[in-house]
């Protein structure tokens, strides 16, 4: 009877170890206790709280592009700026060093 309980307990332990090993939850590697606070601050908590703004930036870019295409098709101006001026400003070669020195 004891052998059966031991084998069942061992099976459960192996199952739990397998679940931990292949789970999606990431655990930081073993770190000396002296450095664990810094390590968790750098990699643990920060990764869980950070939110990406990629979706919002893509949406804003698409919105601006749609506005540009609409301006170009209807030959409209917004704040005395037309689509040709936008293209001209984008393609203008700029010397960043000169601009930086003038600031």
pLDDT at 26: 61
Please state, in angstroms and rounded to a whole number, the distance separating the CA atoms of residues 30 and 43: 13
The 10s digit of each residue's pLDDT in 49-82 is 556 788 889 999 999 889 888 888 888 887 887 8
Instruction: Please tell me which residue, 85 or 27, carries the higher pLDDT value.
Output: 85
Sketch the domain layout of the chain as residue ranges. 2-49, 54-102
pLDDT, mean of residues 24-47: 65
């Amino acid at each position: 009877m004891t052998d059966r309980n031991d084998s069942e307990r061992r099976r459960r332990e192996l199952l739990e170890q397998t679940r931990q090993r292949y789970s999606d939850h990431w655990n930081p590697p073993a770190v000396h206790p002296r450095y664990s606070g810094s390590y968790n601050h750098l990699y643990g908590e920060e990764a869980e709280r950070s939110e990406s703004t990629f979706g919002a930036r893509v949406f804003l870019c698409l919105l601006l592009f749609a506005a540009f295409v609409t301006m170009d098709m209807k030959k409209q101006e917004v704040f005395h700026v037309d689509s040709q001026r936008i293209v001209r400003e984008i393609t203008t070669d700029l010397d960043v060093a000169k601009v930086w020195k003038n600031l």
